[in-house]
Amino acid sequence: MVDSLSVSAAPNGQLKATATVHSTRTVKLQALTVAVRSANGGNYDYPGATAATLGTQATKYTSGSRAFPAGTYTYFVAYKVHDSWRSLAPVKSFTSGTSTTPTPTATPTPTSPATPTPTASTPAGTPTQTASPTPTPTATSSTTPSAPSTAAAPVGIAGTWRQVFSDEFNGTGLDGSKWNSNWFGCSGCVTKPPNSAEASAYSPSQVSVSDGSLHLNLIQQPTTVGGKTYPNVSGLVTSNGKAQFTYGAFESRIYTPSSGTQMANWPSFWLDGQNWPTDGELDVLEGLGGSACYHFHSTAGGPGGCASGTYSGGWHTFGAEWKQGSVTYYYDGKQVGQITSGITSAPMYLILNNAINPDHSGTNVVPADMKVDYVRVWQH
């Protein structure tokens, strides 16, 4: 429980946060911090997250200091336990740029994320459509890439990072400034899949945001698009035309559908260029034949592999670091593979989709909900 929470001035025009918290029983926290959100949902968490043991006696936490671009922000206490980040009421606000006067707000308590989960070498997508290039978003000055669901950097990926994109899916609907809810189609249209091997069309009706997660729902519903009837319809989001990147660290925390101890269907988190395969395709995660796999497709081929271990039946973090000449893949913060051939350098946009492939019938499950806690992108 939060007994007190406030923001105060620090040297050099920066701010710091102070919180007093307690628990009804003794609990060891992996981390305790004060999280901050800008008006458009950007992450500006205070530095200095620390491990703590809470009990019935009040514990005081003081964050590190940081500067904020001019604007209004909400802030709240967040803590990590059992590898899951959670948030506490109250949610307060302050304004930076003129004077800093913290005031309580009626903003509801942010939804707590749930907890992390994840052989053939089939491409996650073989798009043939071409769209007009879009500018790569720039990072907001002084943005700290941290949030209640993760640390101040990509999980397991070393280096100094600045966050340039994020969506925590804490609202009640998809953020249309960041995502499209179908594959290269008009707003609200049902579209064909990126890959002709898929057995589902994509409809915005199968995309929703609730309980702090993006939901991509696959259901059995014969759907005809472009003269072809697909036995299923599912959910997909893409940042094409709204955000694209050249190099960086890309991470998403995902709860994939499961078939026993295996990953069901063909859930995917990937990036794609404007001209496939010339511009490249970076598959951070694709469920293939029950396994969690990664690939990089270009005119040079499609090398990749599948991670050992079980990445289904719970929340897991899937990430990749893309830099000149290589992509290194990280699942739950551990390196699971690296590709150093055929790596392209053209900008790519983000895609998440809950696909299904009839060739993997042994692990297919319908209906199935692919849940996404967050998507984040960092660059140096």
Owner of token pair 């102070």 = 18
**Residues 30-53 pLDDT 10s:** 889 998 988 766 778 898 888 999
pLDDT of residue 45: 87
Amino acid identity at 355: A
pLDDT of residue 150: 39
pLDDT of residue 16: 93
Q: Please, which pLDDT band fits residue 294 given cuts at 50, 70 and 90?
A: very high
| pLDDT at 199 exceeding the cut of 80 | yes
| pLDDT at 132 exceeding the cut of 90 | no
Name the nearest CA neighbour of 8 among 34, 42, 29.
Answer: 34
Q: What's the whole-number mean pLDDT along residues 228-246?
A: 97
Q: What's the whole-number mean pLDDT along residues 295-309?
A: 96
Name the nearest CA neighbour of 178 among 165, 187, 188.
Answer: 165
Cβ partners under 8 Å of residue 361, min gap 6? none
Owner of token pair 């026993």 = 260
Owner of token pair 């409809």 = 203
- Minimum mean pLDDT among 89-93, 98-102, 177-181, 300-304: which range? 98-102
Q: What's the whole-number mean pLDDT along residues 6-25?
A: 89
Taking CA atoms, 4 is separated from 58, 61, 89, 188, 214, in Å, by 10, 10, 10, 45, 32
Q: Please, which pLDDT band fits residue 329 given cuts at 50, 70 and 90?
A: very high
pLDDT of residue 40: 67
Beta bridge partners of 62: 18
Cβ atoms of 154 and 330 closer than 8 Å: yes
Give the DSSP H/E element, type plus range, for residue 229: strand 228-234
pLDDT of residue 236: 98
Q: What's the whole-number mean pLDDT along residues 301-312?
A: 95
Higher pLDDT, 11 or 265: 265
pLDDT of residue 128: 38
Higher pLDDT, 102 or 9: 9
Quickly name the fold that domain 2-104 has: Immunoglobulin-like (2.60.40)
CATH 2.60.40.10 in the chain: give the residue spans.
Answer: 2-104
Phi and psi, residue 46, nearest 5°: -65, 140
CATH 2.60.120.200 in the chain: give the residue spans.
Answer: 162-379
CA distance 218 to 204: 12
Q: What's the whole-number mean pLDDT along residues 226-251?
A: 97
**Residues 249-276 pLDDT 10s:** 999 999 999 999 999 999 999 999 999 9
pLDDT of residue 78: 87
Q: Please, which pLDDT band fits residue 143 given cuts at 50, 70 and 90?
A: very low
DSSP characters over 353-364: EEE--GGGGGG-
**Residues 77-112 pLDDT 10s:** 988 877 667 788 888 989 987 543 343 333 333 333
pLDDT of residue 172: 94
**Hey, what long-range contacts does 357-360 have (CB within 8 A, 24 or more apart)?**
357/122, 357/197, 357/198, 357/199, 357/265, 357/266, 358/199, 359/122, 359/197, 360/120, 360/265, 360/266, 360/288, 360/289, 360/290
Q: What's the whole-number mean pLDDT along residues 153-161?
A: 93
Higher pLDDT, 118 or 36: 36
Q: Please, which pLDDT band fits residue 25 given cuts at 50, 70 and 90?
A: confident
Quickly name the fold that domain 162-379 has: Jelly Rolls (2.60.120)
pLDDT of residue 119: 32
Q: What's the whole-number mean pLDDT along residues 58-65?
A: 92
- Minimum mean pLDDT among 60-74, 99-113, 342-356: which range? 99-113
Mean pLDDT for all residues in the chain: 85
Q: What percent of the chain has pLDDT over 90?
A: 64
What's the pTM value of the predicted model, to 2 decimals?
0.64
